[in-house]
Amino acid sequence: MAELTALESLIEMGFPRGRAEKALALTGNQGIEAAMDWLMEHEDDPDVDEPLETPFGHILGREPTSSEQVGPEGAGSAAGESKPVLTEEERQEQTKRMLELVAQKQREREEREEREALEREKQRRRQGQELSAARQKLQEDEMRRAAEERRREKAEELAARQRVREKIERDKAERAKKYGSSVGSQSSPPATDPGPVPSSPSQEPPTKREYDQCRIQVRLPDGTSLTQTFRAREQLAAVRLYVELHRGEEPGQDQDPVQLLSGFPRRAFSEADMERPLQELGLVPSAVLIVAKKCPS
C-alpha cells in the first residue's frame, strides 16, 4: 500500500493529515512528489482544509481495486507477502529526503514568485515611463500653443502700432500741406502805398519780425540730441511725434511716453500744450527742448 507510506511521510514532514489525504486523492495517488507539488501550489487556498465532497480512493474510504491491492511489489504481494517494515534509520533518511524535496520546492516557488514580482515591477516602471512621457508631451503642446498665442498677440499689437504711426504721418502731412499753403498766401501781402517817411530814426516804431519756421533741438535722456526744422504754425505734438519716431529704440519694443521740457525758463509742456502752435509757445525761431520719460498716470 504505497499510498499509505506517502501519507505517513507527508504527515511526518509536518503537513496536516486532512491536507495530505486530499493532496494524494486529487493527484490520483501518483506519489509523494505530485502530492507535495499540489500542497505547495494550494497552501494559500481558502478551502485547502475542506474535505472533498465525494470521497474516493483507499485513503478516503473507496475499496481498493485488485491492482491496488497487488501494489508495485507484483505477484509476490498478492500471494500474501507482507510489506517490509522500515527501520528507524531508514524512516529518518526517508524523512530527510522528503524535507529536502520540500525545501527545494519552496525555493523553486520563491524563485518563481521573485521572477513574477520582478516582471510586475518592470511592467509598473514601463507604464510609469509611458505616463510620464505622455504628460511631458502634453505640457510641451500646451507651451507651444501658448507661445504661438503670444506671437500672434505681439504681431497684432505691432500691426496696430504701425497703423497708428501711418495715421499720424498722414495727419502730419495734411497739416503741413494746410499750414504751408496758408503761410504762402500770407507771405505776399497786398501792396500798399508807402506812408510818410519819418523825419528821424528815433521816431520809427519797432518792427517785429515774423518767422514761418523754427529750428528745434531736442536733447534725449541718453545724452544725444536731435535737430529738426518745423513750421512755426505746427503744433507741439508734431515735435513729440518726431521724437518718438527717432529716439533710437529698437523697433517692436514698447516705448515709454515722453514729456517735453523747456530749458530756460524751466517749463513742462502739458497735453493741452501739444495742440498749440510752436509760435504761441515762444519756441520760434529756435529752441532747445529736453526729453523726460513720462510717468504713467
* Digit-coded pLDDT (tens) for 7-55: 888 887 888 888 888 888 888 888 888 888 888 888 888 887 787 765 5
- Return the CA Rg of the chain: 57
9-22 burial string, b = 16+ CB within 10 Å, else e?
A: bbeebebeeebbbb
H or E element in which residue 246 lies:
helix 236-246
Q: What is the arithmetic mean of pLDDT over 107-123?
A: 90
Question: pLDDT tens for residues 22-35?
Answer: 888 888 888 888 88
Report the predicted TM-score, pTM, of the whole model to 2 decimal places.
Answer: 0.31
- pLDDT tens digits, residue range 230-246? 999 999 999 999 988 88
Q: What is the pLDDT of residues 129-184, one digit of tens each?
A: 999 999 999 999 999 999 999 999 999 999 999 999 999 999 989 888 888 766 55
Cell readout for 85 is 517494515
State the DSSP H helix or E strand holding residue 23, giving kind and residue range, or none if neither.
helix 17-26
Question: Helices marked H in 194-235 — which ranges?
Answer: none
